[in-house]
Amino acid sequence: MIYEIIQPCDLLKDYISHFWVGTWDINAHNTNSTHYIIASSFTEITFAFKDNKKHSELLFTSIQGQTNEPNQYSVDKFYHLLGVSFYSHTLPYLFNIPATELNNEYLSLDTFLGQDARILNEKMGFANSTKQRIQILTEYFVNQLTKQHFEDKLILNAIDEIKKRKGDTKILEIASDFGLSQKQFNRRFKVFTGFNPKLYSRIIRFESAIRNYQKAQNLTDLAYLNNYYDQAHFIHEFKSFTGFSPKDFWKLSEE
């Protein structure tokens, strides 16, 4: 598989982590018919195409909310994916809904966006290239920023602090640092992440381990690098969030 990450424009960088593209060689790979989900602090919109050719058939579109549960879905066979990875706090900003409404949800884009999705799907299906498709999505999301939304700057700062610490946090201390009781902090935090602070921190630490995989010599090093108590704790957490052992997960990702 050829995997590419494309950064969003400056107007969207606080809301979109990145666009991504995955393409499989039709002649060298069996058709994909399973869509794998692992724990993630991101909300993902995915467009699946039959191939990477001009005007390729758009097979399905989906939105996966931030999740702490691994899952697998049977889908139409595809060889090319284009996705958008949103920060969970983007949901209140771009769509004026609390993040909790998409917790562990996997929906068709039509179900989530209605007529907007149908217009987007048509435009994406007729686009000539990945660049043009990303431009279509960029224009749509920039327009969403002009609409009504709600925000909580204090909680956004708390989210940033947890990310800076790679999930290695003491929630009571963070709540105190931001002048909130734990109950207030938990309630407001869930609106913008979908999770309570403790679970969100665990997911952030897990994502750090995924990113740092190639920096570690072995699983023990990877566990300690990301502040897990020991290798056994790391493997247990990894299985909980992916449904696979680390070895099987990375083997799957290489297919």
Tens of pLDDT along 210-246?
A: 998 888 888 999 999 898 988 999 999 999 999 999 9
Looking at residue 141, what is its pLDDT?
95
Q: What's the rounded mean pLDDT across residues 117-142?
A: 94
Q: What's the rounded mean pLDDT across residues 98-119?
A: 94
Note whether 166 and 129 are same-domain residues. Answer: no
- Statement: residue 255 has pLDDT above 70: no
Looking at residue 2, what is its pLDDT?
82
- Statement: residue 29 has pLDDT above 60: no
Contact status, residue 62 vs residue 106, Cβ threshold 8 Å: yes
What whole-number distance in Å separates Cα of residue 208 and Cα of residue 85? 16
Task: Mean pLDDT check: name the lowest of 28-32, 52-56, 222-226.
Answer: 28-32
For residue 35, what pLDDT band results from cuts at 50, 70 and 90? confident
Structure tokens that stand for 200 in this block: 């969100």
Looking at residue 197, what is its pLDDT?
94
- Statement: residue 23 has pLDDT above 90: no
Q: Compute the mean pLDDT over every residue in the chain, rounded to the nearest whole number.
A: 89
What whole-number distance in Å separates Cα of residue 100 and Cα of residue 199? 13
Looking at residue 148, what is its pLDDT?
76
Note whether 160 and 135 are same-domain residues. Answer: no
Note whether 26 and 119 are same-domain residues. Answer: yes
CB neighbours (10 Å) of residue 24?
A: 19
Note whether 140 and 164 are same-domain residues. Answer: no
Q: What's the structural domain count of the chain? A: 2
Residue, of 22 and 234, whose pLDDT is higher: 234
Looking at residue 22, what is its pLDDT?
84
Contact status, residue 207 vs residue 165, Cβ threshold 8 Å: no
201 HSE (CA, 13 A, CB side): 19
Query: Which H or E run contains 112?
Result: helix 109-113
Looking at residue 250, what is its pLDDT?
83
CATH assignment of the domain containing 165 = 1.10.10.60
For residue 161, what pLDDT band results from cuts at 50, 70 and 90? very high
Note whether 183 and 121 are same-domain residues. Answer: no
Looking at residue 71, what is its pLDDT?
87
Q: What's the rounded mean pLDDT across residues 35-64?
A: 88
Q: What's the rounded mean pLDDT across residues 128-135?
A: 93
Final residue before a domain boundary, out of 145, 164, 199: 145
Looking at residue 75, what is its pLDDT?
67
Note whether 38 and 134 are same-domain residues. Answer: yes
- Statement: residue 115 has pLDDT above 90: yes
Could you list the beta-strand ranges (E) of the chain.
2-6, 16-23, 32-37, 42-49, 58-64, 71-78, 80-87, 106-108
Note whether 137 and 168 are same-domain residues. Answer: no
Q: What's the rounded mean pLDDT across residues 163-167?
A: 91
Tell me which residue range forms the domain holding 170: 153-253
Note whether 162 and 138 are same-domain residues. Answer: no
Q: Percentage of residues in the chain with pLDDT exceeding 90?
A: 58
Which of 5-9, 21-25, 71-75, 151-155 is most confident? 5-9
Looking at residue 56, what is its pLDDT?
81
